[in-house]
């Protein structure tokens, strides 16, 4: 059993380490003759050109990956994208037709709510593309096309490597749509793909600083609450960081959009409260960076203990970070592939410090096949 876990105590810890490979493998074969290739047999450029709206449906971590898809797809394609929890989508009356593309994201491919959302979309004649990590599972079988995340079986109940692979697959969908619609020039698409191909190396660099994250985690192992703040793509990352901590460490954790702080959550800030802040790249939009900086200032002034994830060399955050976790530089849209990783390590370490089995958190199943 120890060998199966590659020398780690838990599958989850091994799966965290496998993330650079999972991202790299998910990209393999999807760029040929200067073009993104999504699913050669079943989804043609012509069909992608006809798409006038995108819905992303998923549950849990896969939903967080879906939230990230929205930023990339809207930015690259100018198509409207709605992201919805599969369990909510199917009981509304979503407006879909044959020019709607529904992207169903599921690691297992067996999640009941997501499967029902796929069926509902198909009844409305929408085209359904599954992003799935399990060959031949029910969701890809019932979808019109499938893009597999190729990160190998995920055993740990908490999603880690599948999440990064899903984000990667979402980028491929966004680039394929942009290419088909002509909202990006071929050389721009090629440049984005090359940038994506260089991400695994950076994910590996983040993993090298795992010891530092674990050391921080041990200091916070017994606090009652941890908050997570992020803006733009940092917001879904904050949600994912909070979910990891809930499911593994059974700790109260909440992720907020940093801009919402003043609309309520700031009332929670009190002396000693640990708050993670996911900083955007200082090389990206300056306004995003300065907004987050002033958020950290505000919460620190109210006594929060700030744990800041920031790009290396971003010295502006130092005065406001009680703990600083540095990640390599990356274009804004790709940063979540890096900033999520310390949050996974943090949650796993806190859970272990509390004596919990991180592969099998209480009350949870790997795949929720009943509604």
Report the residue number whose CB is nearest to ligand AGP. Answer: 60
Among positions 61, 87, 306, 352, the unique one binding ligand AGP when judged by CB under 6 A: 61
**Which phi and psi angles does 37 have, rounded to 5°?**
-120, 115
* C-alpha–C-alpha distance, residues 19 and 341, integer Å: 9
Q: What are the beta bridge partners of residue 277?
A: 229, 308
Containing 53, the helix (H) or strand (E) segment is strand 53-58
SS3 138: helix
Q: Cβ of residue 156: shortest distance to ligand AGP, in angstroms?
A: 8
Pairing of strands 35-36, 31-32: antiparallel
CA distance 44 to 50: 10
Report the nearest approach of ligand AGP to the CB of residue 193 (Å).
25
Cβ neighbors of 95 (< 8 A, separation 6 or more) are: none
Q: How far is the CB of 282 from ligand AGP (least distance, A)?
A: 30
Q: How far is the CB of 290 from ligand AGP (least distance, A)?
A: 32
Q: How many residues bind ligand AGP (CB under 6 A)?
A: 15
Q: Which of 19, 106, 168, 300 binds ligand AGP (CB under 6 A)?
A: 106
Strand ranges in the chain using DSSP code E only, listed in sequence order: 31-32, 35-36, 53-58, 81-85, 100-106, 127-132, 145-148, 225-230, 252-257, 274-278, 305-311, 323-327
Only segment of 3-11, 32-40, 153-161, 178-186 that touches ligand AGP (CB under 6 A)? 153-161
100 binds ligand AGP (CB under 6 A): no
Question: How far is the C-alpha of 130 from the C-alpha of 102, rounded, in Å?
Answer: 8
Does 169 sit near ligand AGP (CB under 6 A)? Answer: no
Residue window 244-273: x/- pattern of binding to ligand AGP, with contact defined by CB under 6 A: ---x--------------------------
Residue 340 in contact with residue 237, Cβ under 8 Å?
yes
By the rule CB under 6 A, 59 interacts with ligand AGP = yes
- Distance spanning both ends of the chain, measured CA to CA: 32
Choosing from 35, 246, 360, 366, the catalytic residue is 366
Nearer to ligand AGP, 278 or 358 (CB): 358
Query: Residue 308 forms beta bridges with which residues?
Result: 277, 324
Whether 122 is a known active-site residue: answer no
> Which C-beta is closer to ligand AGP: that of 267 or that of 364?
364
CB of 299 to ligand AGP, least distance (A): 27
Whether residue 344 contacts residue 239, with contact meaning beta carbons closer than 8 Å, is answered with no
151 lies in the site for ligand AGP, by CB under 6 A:
no
Taking CB under 6 A as the criterion, the residue among 26, 77, 87, 111 binding ligand AGP is 111
Q: Are strands 31-32 and 100-106 parallel, antiparallel or unpaired?
A: unpaired
Our finding on whether 339 is near ligand AGP (CB under 6 A) is: no
Q: Which of 207, 200, 128 is closest to 168 using CA atoms?
A: 200
When asked if residue 138 is in the footprint of ligand AGP (CB under 6 A), the reply is no
Residue 107 contacts ligand AGP per CB under 6 A: yes
Residue numbers at the binding site for ligand AGP (CB under 6 A): 59-62, 106-108, 111, 114, 157-159, 247, 367-368
Q: Which residues are catalytic?
A: 366
């Amino acid at each position: 059993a120890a060998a199966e876990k590659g020398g780690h105590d838990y599958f989850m810890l091994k799966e965290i380490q496998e993330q650079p490979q999972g991202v790299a493998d998910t990209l393999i074969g999807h760029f040929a003759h200067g073009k993104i290739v999504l699913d050669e047999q079943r989804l043609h450029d012509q069909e992608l050109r006809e798409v006038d709206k995108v819905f992303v449906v998923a549950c849990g971590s896969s939903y967080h990956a879906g939230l990230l898809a929205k930023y990339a797809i809207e930015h690259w394609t100018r198509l409207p994208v709605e992201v919805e929890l599969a369990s909510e989508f199917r009981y509304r009356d979503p407006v879909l037709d044959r020019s709607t593309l529904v992207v169903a994201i599921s690691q297992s491919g067996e999640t009941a709510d997501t499967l029902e959302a796929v069926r509902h979309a198909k009844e409305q004649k929408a085209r359904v593309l599954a992003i799935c990590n399990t060959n031949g599972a029910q969701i890809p079988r019932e979808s019109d096309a499938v893009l597999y995340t190729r990160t190998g079986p995920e055993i740990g109940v908490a999603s880690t490597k599948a999440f990064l692979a899903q984000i990667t697959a979402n980028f491929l969908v966004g680039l394929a749509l942009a290419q088909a619609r002509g909202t990006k020039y071929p050389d721009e698409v090629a440049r984005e793909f090359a940038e994506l191909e260089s991400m695994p190396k950076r994910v590996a660099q983040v993993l090298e600083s795992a010891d530092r994250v674990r050391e921080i985690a041990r200091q916070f192992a017994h606090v009652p609450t941890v908050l997570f703040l992020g803006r733009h793509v940092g917001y879904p990352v904050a949600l994912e960081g909070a979910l990891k901590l809930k499911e593994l460490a059974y700790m109260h954790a909440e992720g907020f959009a940093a801009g919402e702080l003043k609309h309520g959550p700031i009332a929670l800030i009190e002396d000693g409260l640990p708050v993670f802040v996911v900083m955007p790249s200082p090389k990206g939009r300056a306004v995003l960076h300065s907004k987050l900086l002033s958020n950290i200032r505000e919460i620190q002034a109210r006594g929060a203990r700030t744990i800041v994830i920031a790009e290396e060399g971003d010295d502006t955050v130092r005065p406001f970070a009680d703990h600083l976790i540095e990640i390599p530089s990356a274009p804004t849209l790709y940063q979540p592939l890096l900033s999520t990783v310390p949050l996974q390590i943090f949650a796993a370490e806190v859970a272990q410090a509390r004596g919990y089995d991180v592969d099998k958190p209480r009350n949870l199943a790997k795949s929720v096949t009943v509604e």
